Amino acid sequence: MNDENQNTKILKSILKWIKFLGWPKAREALEENLKDEVDRLIYHFSDGEHGIRDIIPKVKAYNLSTSYGGIHGKWQRWAKDGIVMPKPVRAGIRYVKIFDLAEFGIELPEKPEEKTEEKTASA
């Protein structure tokens, strides 16, 4: 048990240094690939659980637009650049983001509020 604790400590230390050394390269890759709000949102929603058809309306909720082909192309390019990983699912392949944008200080656009008063007034 003591050896296990020591090994865990060593692995945590190695992980800390790998993160430290890789941080600038990861940030550079994210900045090069996520050039606008749509890119950042698509990346953020790429959790491997939601497919393209799930992501499109999520982006649309920010008053932005994207397409099936747009997301598919981005996922393929991002996989080559190492910022997402493919995840096989029954219906094909989805992609999972590797990094949390907040950890790199990359902000998502603010989601516009739904105008509930207009909805109730027109009903």
pLDDT in tens, the chain (123 residues): 588 889 999 999 998 898 888 999 999 999 999 999 999 999 999 999 999 999 999 999 999 999 999 999 999 999 999 999 999 999 899 999 999 999 999 999 999 987 655 555 555
- Domain borders along the chain are 8-108
Q: 57, 65 in Cβ contact below 8 A? A: no
Phi, psi for 95 (deg, rounded to 5)? -125, 145
Fold exhibited by the domain 8-108: Arc Repressor Mutant, subunit A (1.10.10)
Single pTM value for the model: 0.80
